[in-house]
Structure 1
Amino acid sequence: MSSASRARPTPRSNSNSNPNPNPNPTGSSSSSSSSSSSGPRPRLRSRSRPWLNALAWLPVIFFVEHHVVSFATVSGRSMQPTLNPDSSRLRQDIVLLNRYKNMELTQGATRTDPKAGYQIGDVVALRSPTNPSRLLIKRLIGLPGSLVRTLPPYPERTIRIPMGHCWVEGDEKNHSKDSNTYGPIPLGLLDSRIEYILWPPSRIGAIPNSNSGWEKRVVHPPGMTMGTSMTTPPSKASTRVVGGGF
């Protein structure tokens, strides 16, 4: 009787039988770990840059506002109709102050330079002689040596402006306290020149000419006429709101 025997299968080793094929017990590679730990750092630096940029611009903004140009809201009626022709507080003029004129004067501006310094007829901002923290707006009509025919309540009918001083008046005489009340103003109180009206939109543009007739009351020294410039030391103070009287 023939018979056939069945051979037993030889057991084979399984190379994939390791239950933990990853030798790294953390389950992540070192490269991914390092990249994940260093990932947020660039984002943190990028978030801080806008603040650093803003801080870097603060000195520039401060310099421009105090020495170049600034803005101010005009209050009061002393410069009507040139400024604030509408007495409503809702329609007050916002003007541009040119403080660069003071910088020009410190760089040796002279009367022979028609573009330098303050000029007769300019509308200027100045420090109040009774309250230097307050900024006022008046018209510059007299320089050192000018002969001015004054208005009440000034006690003298005429005055010769002394050296180092100027004469300022409001365009609306009935609502202005100016040199006719306090006399000549030291040149050092001049802060800036009013260049443009920025608000309201219907009045945007250069400062209009005055029709108050002050030119007929002022006699300037020989060679000094409208447009003549003068020198004065710079003013370092600053403010935002401009009032109409001393």
Structure 2
Amino acid sequence: MAGSRMTRILGRWLGVTGYMIQYGCIAHCTLEFVADFVVCKGPSMEPTIYSEDVILTEHITPRLNRIRRGDIIIARSPSNPRQHICKRVTGLEGDKVKNGFATYIVPRGHVWLEGDNTRNSTDSRAFGAVPSGLIRGRAVCRVWPLSELALLTTSHKWEIER
């Protein structure tokens, strides 16, 4: 009698553990390959995104190479691989980009990134074009603070300019 009770308890614990592992795997795959939340730090994207804002990013667009001019992206920093940066795509491969008096052509497989706060942003103007492979996700919306909940859609300015 005690043995069958112990077997039932053990069976329940194993069942719960199995569900926890399944849901953990689903959560991991969702956050790694579909979408996740990012806390942005620093003033480089002000006034669009402020430091400590939480944004929802999706990972499908970069994997399909569908990044467009004007998209806000999260990428691994080309100057510090342990850090991620949040910038706007201002140039795609083949685009001519002006940086001061110089004009650059964005190489194949690269993008040109700039912060919206041009006076306080370390971006492609400092480190050059960024390989598209460093892009982790595309910002979809700001979710925190709740009072500033908003979609982060591509600005028409970027579509018209080029």
Q: TM-score range by the shorter chain?
A: 0.7 to 0.9
Q: Deviations over 1:154-197 (max 9, x none)?
A: xx521121222211100001110111111111121111101111
Query: Cα RMSD (Å) of the superposition?
Result: 2.3
TM-score in terms of structure 2 length: 0.88
Contact 1:82 1:208 in 2 (8 A): no
| Amino acid aligned to 1:201 | L
Identity of aligned residues (%): 28
1:157 match: 102
Residue 196 of structure 1 is aligned with which of 119, 122, 141? 141
Specify every segment of 5 or more residues in structure 1 that has no aligned partner in the other structure, as ranges.
1-34, 106-116, 216-224, 229-246
In structure 2, what is the Cα distance between the partners aligned to 1:162 and 1:104?
Answer: 19
In structure 1, what is the Cα distance between the partners aligned to 2:22 and 2:16?
Answer: 10
Instruction: From the two aligned structures, give the one with the greater helix fraction.
Output: 2
Contact 1:95 1:198 in 2 (8 A): yes
SS at 1:121 equivalent: coil
1:36 shift after superposition: 5.2
CA pair 164-209 structure 1, distance change in 2 beyond 3 A: closer
1:212-223 → structure 2 map (5 Å cutoff): 215=158
Specify every segment of 5 or more residues in structure 2 that has no aligned partner in the other structure, as ranges.
none
Which of the two has higher C-alpha Rg? 1
Q: Deviations over 1:105-148 (max 9, x none)?
A: 4xxxxxxxxxxx11110001111111112110000010111111
Residue 98 of structure 1 is aligned with which of 55, 58, 78? 58
Contact 2:70 2:88 in 1 (8 A): yes
In structure 1, what is the Cα distance between the partners aligned to 2:149 and 2:118?
Answer: 25
1:10 match: none
In structure 2, what is the Cα distance between the partners aligned to 1:167 and 1:190?
Answer: 12
1:28-107 → structure 2 map (5 Å cutoff): 35=1, 37-84=3-50, 92-105=52-65
In structure 1, what is the Cα distance between the partners aligned to 2:95 and 2:77?
Answer: 22
In structure 2, what is the Cα distance between the partners aligned to 1:40 and 1:68?
Answer: 41
1:135 match: 84
1:51 shift after superposition: 1.6
Contact 2:71 2:154 in 1 (8 A): no
1:62 shift after superposition: 1.7
